[in-house]
Amino acid sequence: MTLTADRRTRTTARAARTAAPFVESIPAAPASPPVRRALTVARARDDVYRVADGETVVGHIQIAGPVFVVLLGSVYNTSVEIAQCLDLETAVTRLECARG
Query: Residue ranges per domain, the chain?
Result: 40-100
Quote the pLDDT of residue 40.
92
Question: How big is the CA angle at 73 (ends 71 and 79), to the nearest 5 degrees?
Answer: 55
16-25, 31-40, 76-85: segment of lowest average pLDDT: 16-25
AA identity, residue 71: L
3-17, 24-38, 46-60, 74-88: segment of lowest average pLDDT: 3-17
- The arithmetic mean of pLDDT across residues 78-99, rounded, is 93
Residue 11 neighbours by CB under 8 Å, 6+ apart: none
Helices (H) and strands (E) in the chain, counts: 1, 5
